Amino acid sequence: MIGAAAIALVVAIALMLVRALSGPTLYDRVLAVNSLGTKIILLLGVIGFLTGRPDFLDISILYALINFVSTIAILKFFRYRSFQVSLTRRGKGGS
Amino acid sequence: MTGFEGATLAIDLLNITLLTILFVIAIAIARLRSLFAIVMLSGIYSLVSATWFVALDAVDVAFTEAAVGAGISTALFLGAMVLTSRTAKAEKGATKIVPLLVVIATGAILIYATIDLPGFGDPTSPANTGVGVDFIERTYPEIAIPNIVTAVLASYRGFDTLGEVGVVFAAGLAVSLLLGFGERSLGASVRREDRVASLKKDEEES
């Protein structure tokens, strides 16, 4: 059962990789990186259960935090071409 | 160690799959010209290799790779991309061949070096017969931390790790001072009208 889950996750990772490699727009790549990060987190949990050590779940939670922060950083870079702009003070319909 | 029958085979297959993914990403990074795509792909590369380190039981290395490779490096590369162009120039002539030859030679030397290494998990290897056994036997009764690497880093070698943290803090502080804070730092690349608008808004609020 866990093996089947691992195979499904590997297939999903391969599909994300195709999207990240071929593009065509930058947003496709950002989305591919973000969801590939999610798949990696799930795969880490599955590896933990495969090796009989569910302690790996802690590591995957930390990966989730890193993935979230780096996605925010990438999107912020997209929007403002800089990391030095605060995210909260920009009212008027999000512009 | 294995959770069920056939888990060793599953882990082996997983290792091979992860290495294949890494190989594909590396080839793609070498061939792409769009710097943004390369930055994204190097983030993916770090995440996948961190997963591979976890599969190899090197949890601490994996965590460092995920935090530094996928987190900080991506942000730093993007910040550097602001200052340069969006595509790399195509190499021609010798610059195309020489790096390939260097990489092949280095890889061959490394593979040659692995021939002398003991097998993975070999009970008679030096790592498993020297002080390593002592740590494996004494760590849990002495300080009850299940991960021996964590126990050595944070407890037996605690002062050394504290010194390392101090060094990393000093380096981070120096980099922050060099880059600067607030309006004068990387924010200089924000469009001028945006900055003026946000300044006005600050004045209205205060």
Domain assignment present for residue A85? The answer is no
Q: At residue B107, does pLDDT exceed 90? A: yes
Quote the domain boundaries for residue A27.
2-80
Q: Is B146 exposed, middle or buried (0-12, 13-18, 19+ CB in 10 A)?
A: exposed
Quote the domain boundaries for residue B14.
1-89
The pLDDT-based confidence of B194 (bands split at 50, 70, 90) is low
Range B119-141 burial, b when 16+ CB lie within 10 A, else e: eeeeeeeeeeeeeeeebeeebee
Average pLDDT over residues B125-146: 80
> Does the ipTM exceed 0.90?
no
pLDDT at res. A94: 45
CB proximity list for B122: less than 8 A, separation 6 or greater: B128
Domain assignment present for residue A45? The answer is yes
Domain assignment present for residue B203? The answer is no
Does any CB of chain B come closer than 8 Å to the CB of residue A85? yes
Does any CB of chain A come closer than 8 Å to the CB of residue B8? no
Tokens coding A84: 């030095």
Which of B25, B34, B47 is the mutation pick for testing A, counting most A CBs within 10 A?
B47
Domain assignment present for residue A90? The answer is no
* CA–CA separation, B163 and B133 (whole Å): 27
- CB contact under 8 Å between B190 and A63, yes or no, is no
**Which residues, in sequence order, are bridge partners of residue B34?**
B87
- CB contact under 8 Å between B40 and A33, yes or no, is yes
Q: Which residue has the higher pLDDT, B86 or B14?
A: B14
Domain assignment present for residue A52? The answer is yes
**Which residues, in sequence order, are bridge partners of residue B87?**
B34
Domain assignment present for residue A44? The answer is yes
Residues of A in contact with B191 (CB under 8 A): 81
Domain assignment present for residue A19? The answer is yes
- CB contact under 8 Å between B44 and A70, yes or no, is no
Domain assignment present for residue B205? The answer is no
Domain assignment present for residue B115? The answer is no
Instruction: List the single residue in B44, B50, B62 with the smallest CB-CB distance to A36.
Output: B44
The mean pLDDT value of chain A amounts to 79
Q: At residue A16, does pLDDT exceed 80? A: yes
Average pLDDT over residues B126-151: 80
- For chain B, give the percent of residues with pLDDT over 90: 13
Domain assignment present for residue A12? The answer is yes
Average pLDDT over residues B115-136: 78
Does pTM top 0.90 for this prediction?
Answer: no
The pLDDT-based confidence of B1 (bands split at 50, 70, 90) is very low
> How many domains does chain B fold into?
1
Domain assignment present for residue B138? The answer is no
- For chain A, give the percent of residues with pLDDT over 70: 84
CATH of residue B75's domain is 1.20.120.1200
pLDDT at res. B2: 47
pLDDT in tens, A22-61: 878 878 888 888 888 888 888 888 888 877 777 778 888 8
- CB contact under 8 Å between B79 and A83, yes or no, is yes
> How many domains does chain A fold into?
1
